[in-house]
Chains A and B, each alone.
Chain A
Amino acid sequence: MPDEPPVPADTAFAIRCVDLSLTYPGGGGISGINLDFGSGTAAIVGNNGAGKSTLLETIAGLRTPTSGQITLFGKSPGVWRSMGTHTVGVALQDGRPYPSATPLALLKYLHDLYASSPNRTMTPTVDFLVQAFALNTGALIKNLSGGELQRLKCAAALMPGARIVILDEPTAGLDPQGRRDLYAVLASVVPAHSSVLVSTHILEDLESIDSRVIALKDGVVAYDSSTSPTSSAFRLTFTSRSNLDLRGLHDALPEGVKILETINGRYSITSQPHINAAFIATVMNFCAQIGAEVSDVQVRQLGGVMEDVEDLLLGGDTA
């Protein structure tokens, strides 16, 4: 029997989601996702429950979409699987696979398993992954620390040598240094031309990932750095008592202004047009009218993906 057909060389759309939806009986999930991924890294950010895991697991073929389509190199994950071709390496967020085995035994077994895969030339060696991720090979998997387990899962995701690598919250539970180290290892180990999707709910992680950024919110794509223009917005922040009723302020300010209470008593007003003296005066006057004392007023210009995303994610509780 001849080898199965290799994964096509065309990486223009390694991953294509067309109107992809997966809803759960109890609510949540994703809806109407339209995303294309070529080679390179994309970070999926969003709060817990934003639909990151659902999206990644659907792309990996672990969940069946309610509607819409997911294709990897032009074929659905199920078709690839039935052909015996391994297209995706996955590190799942939850779970501690084979707790009574050692990491070394697990990786050797996975290596054997993937050695029959058509893309075997790309399969890394066990030694390479053990070294790269500085794995604790002797201990049982059930005794690994959070960081050790995350690194093992990442190594396992790279073992198939698949063209698509999906890492769901690989930095969950790590300290800042551990998170930076893991991203550094991933950047050096993941083969060029792979398509890598990595999710995180920690915005600081974006400083360590030089990549396209996609923000999910309530199951929909709220921001995509490849299509959404980076805003040159301005933001005015001030402190007052909590739960101010600022609804009337919208009418007094230019259109498109976003007002929200980010934390108790801290308010953020974001505007695309420049925030000038007249703008500030309008806000201060309004606060004075409703009897709110205002302190710590700051105005700054936003820049870069991270602040745009931060803006979106914090925008949940509009005041």
Chain B
Amino acid sequence: MNSMRRLLIQTKWEFRLNARNFEQALLLVIIPVLILFILTNTTIIGGQNSPVSLGFATVLTVSTFAAGFTSLAIATAFERRSDTLVFLGTTSLTRVEVVLAKSAGSFLLALFAGIFTLVAALLLGWIPATSAVLIPISIALGVFSISGFAYLLAGTLRAEAVLAIANAVFLCVLLLGGVLFTFSTELTHVLEFFPPLALKHVMEASIVTSGTADASILTAVLVLLGWGVIGHVLASRFFKWR
């Protein structure tokens, strides 16, 4: 009982700290909404479905990566540098609770960003299907698939290096991960085994295809779960608290 209570308080605190940060707002709300606007008013992405819903799925993938990887890695790295993580060790929180609260805080941040983009998508003419209730689950799955790597980065490198690498990875995800641009069929088959495109497929399933689960979506979910396990196992093995 107490553990649950501590977890809730810590998650609230993590979310509050992050949400007040201006860079976060830029990364999580302004950039995705801009991308959504560009995607739906230009012809970067074609396709059979309505451009707004496709764009919305793309942009949710982007903000989930921003919250679950880039923001999380940078915030954790700087907390490690300021000995905030050691300070948390002096509280009644266990290490597992600290990590769970951080991931939960990132999830809330991605959800929060998702609400902004959802409003933007509605304004641009998106008509939600009932499968939209799956969006939070897709975001949670996305955060899980990449947060382990955020911890791995934050717990092993200097804060400045983490800042540079996390932003570079974010850019690579956008440009090369199959999120914004569609590559050749062969390349796409490879990218489907990495979190960005897998997450985009899962998002599309909950937004565009009305939640129809086919084999490729199941594969995408397994890919995300698999990367999540790998990332968290590596992080728990190599993470240094100070």
Contacts and interface: CB of A to CB of B under 8 A. Distances in A.
B91 to A, nearest CB: 6
Interface in B1-55: 1-3, 5-6, 9-10, 13, 16-17, 20-21
Contact of B90 (A1, A62, A99, A105): A62
B90 A60 contact: yes
A81 interface: yes
Contacts of A175: none
B236 interface: no
Interface in A92-151: 92, 94-101, 105, 109-110, 112-114, 116-117
B86 A116 contact: no
A97 B83 contact: yes
B240 to A, nearest CB: 13
B93 interface: yes
Nearest to A91: B90
Contacts of B125: none
Contact of A90 (B9, B90, B93): B90
| Interface SS majority for chain B | helix
A265 interface: no
B86 to A, nearest CB: 6
B130 interface: no
B92 interface: yes
Given A113-B10, A116-B5, A96 B93 contact: no
Contacts of A89: 90
A114 B17 contact: no
B116 to A, nearest CB: 22
A273 interface: no
A113 B82 contact: no
A86 interface: yes
A156 B92 CA distance: 13
B92 A84 contact: yes
B25 to A, nearest CB: 14
Interface string B43-82: 0000000000000000000000000000000000001001
Contact of A92 (B5, B16, B87): B87
Interface string A145-168: 000000000001100100000000
A94 B90 contact: no
Given A84-B2, A99-B82, A109 B87 contact: no
A84 B3 contact: yes
Interface in A53-110: 60, 62, 81-82, 84-86, 88-90, 92, 94-101, 105, 109-110
Given A84-B92, A113-B92, A117-B92, A97 B2 contact: no
Which of A84, A96, A156 has its CB near the most chain B CB atoms (within 10 A)? A84
B99 to A, nearest CB: 15
B83 A92 contact: yes
A113 B83 contact: no
Contact of B84 (A1, A97, A109): A97
Contacts of B94: 81-82
B83 A94 contact: yes
Given A1-B1, A98-B17, A116-B2, A81 B92 contact: yes
- What 4 A-B pairs have minimum CB-CB distances, sorted nearest first? A95-B83, A97-B87, A90-B90, A86-B92
Given A82-B94, A95-B83, A97-B83, 16 more contacts: A1-B1, A4-B2, A84-B2, A84-B92, A85-B92, A86-B91, A89-B90, A90-B90, A92-B86, A92-B90, A99-B84, A109-B13, A112-B9, A117-B2, A160-B91, A160-B92
8 contacts: A81-B94, A88-B90, A98-B17, A98-B82, A109-B9, A114-B91, A117-B2, A160-B91
